[in-house]
Amino acid sequence: MLITGAGGGMSAGINEILARAGHTIICTDVNLAAAEAASKKIKGLGGQSAAYPVDVTSEVSVVGLVAAVERDFGGIDVLVNAAGLLDRKYLVDHDESSFDKVIGVNLNGPFRMIRHFGPGMAEQGWGRVINISSIAGTTGYPYPSYAASKAGLSNLTRSLLLDFWGTGVTVNNVCPGVVDTAMVIQAVRDQVKEKVPTENIVDPKEIGSFIEFLLGEAAKNINGADLMIDGGATQVFRLFDDRPESFR
């Protein structure tokens, strides 16, 4: 299994659960030191792992990663796109480049990774692509670049089913609500008890356990889905009080 953004908080939970389940985990991140630390942690748990740098916004970097992984592992069967960027900017605070930067990591990044790793999985006749999207891609959200990137990722996923038709490769989005990582600011954490029906912030390991299920035989017919893990927040009310002042 290869994971992008391996050094992040969500990946820590995913890595731990899947390493314990016996998966070899190829840790990749734009921050090589963070990928190496994640890989070391997996080995500390008795798992198999290796670390590589990758900037998912760079074609050259991703092509280099494909070559390195092909050389060292002969390919992959599971791709988890977890690299992500949240820029807390409202419409009026964005410029072209700040908007593009978020789209570049959260949408173009998974597209590039799937484009380069997907054909190998299809050739093998089995594969699982898991994109870490967000509830922000399924409902109104204060930060438009993040919301647009994750909504784009969801529909990219649905559309890719046609490309992978009959190949044994499925593509799904896991859409977490508020997960206990450094990406989440205190104000949002404070809202969870009041606004999430289960009153829980999601543990990154819950995301790992869910992905473990998605990799199993029982999940073989789950394909092209937005799979929410948000305690029900999105279904019942607005999670975020954060509203821009600009047009009020």
Q: Which of 8, 118, 144, 152 binds ligand NAD (CB under 6 A)?
A: 8
Rounded-to-integer distance, Cα 85 and Cα 103, Å:
9
**List 5, 144, 208, 231, residue binding ligand NAD (CB under 6 A):** 5
Alpha-carbon distance 58 to 30, whole Å? 10
Q: Which of 1, 3, 4, 142 binds ligand NAD (CB under 6 A)?
A: 4
Select the residue interacting with ligand NAD from 2, 3, 7, 76 (CB under 6 A).
Answer: 7
Confirm or reject binding of residue 102 to ligand NAD (CB under 6 A).
Answer: no
- Choose, by CB under 6 A, the member of 85, 121, 147, 156 that binds ligand NAD: 85
Q: Which residues in 118-137 contact ligand NAD (CB under 6 A)?
A: 132, 134
Do 103 and 137 meet the contact criterion of CB atoms below 8 Å apart?
A: no
Q: What whole-number distance in Å separates Cα of residue 171 and Cα of residue 149?
A: 17
Question: Which residues inside 171-190 make contact with ligand NAD, applying CB under 6 A?
Answer: 176, 178-179, 181-184
Nearer to ligand NAD, 144 or 176 (CB): 176
85: three-class secondary structure by DSSP: coil
Max CA pair span of the chain: 56
Q: Is 145 in the site for ligand NAD (CB under 6 A)?
A: no
Query: Least CB distance from residue 116 to ligand NAD, whole Å?
Result: 14
Compare residues 101 and 158 and give the one whose CB is closer to ligand NAD: 101
DSSP string covering 191-246: HHHHH-TT--PBPHHHHHHHHHHHTSGGGTT--S-EEEESTTHHHHS-------ST
Active site residue 52: no
- Least distance from C-beta 166 to ligand NAD, angstroms? 29
Measure the CA–CA gap between 212 and 208, rounded to whole angstroms. 6
- Tokens representing 231 are 């305690």
- In the structure encoding, which two tokens stand for residue 152, read together? 């784009």
- The site for ligand NAD (CB under 6 A) is made up of 4-5, 7-11, 29-31, 34, 54-57, 82-86, 105, 132, 134, 176, 178-179, 181-184
